[in-house]
Amino acid sequence: MYPEYMVAPIREDLTSAGFEQLMSPEEVEQAIKSEGTVLVAVNSVCGCAAAKARPALKIAVAASDKKPSKLVTVFAGMEQDAVAKAREHMLPYPPSSPSIALFKDGELVHMIERYHIEGNELNRIVDNLQGAFEEYC
């Protein structure tokens, strides 16, 4: 676990862009199982989250006509039970952070793992997200 003063600005990077911070397994379950599309961002303190994942999320959501009904985030290394519940829904993909999952009516329909983020260019991640929004939202 990290000190909250360290992660507060990192949380705010997504919450200020319209993402709801989920703190408990119950909140995660309720969000993912809701009707419509739900974008789940597994946030992290790592450099690829700062340089690529969070910027890509914000750009894709802001620039897309079609977008998920709900934007939520969990924080790896902090609310461990909430993160574990989100990752249960992301199976068969292994745990990774950062990562991004899109659910439609409670079913996982699109997944972006850490290796898709850290080894990729920002614009390709944005395009990936926007393509998923176009297809599923």
List active site positions: 46, 48
Sheet holding 107-112, edge to edge: 20-21, 70-75, 37-43, 99-104, 107-112
Alpha-carbon span 23 to 132, nearest angstrom: 26
Cis ω before 3 (30° cut-off from 0):
no
Return the closest-CA partner of residue 74 out of 36, 31, 33, 116: 31
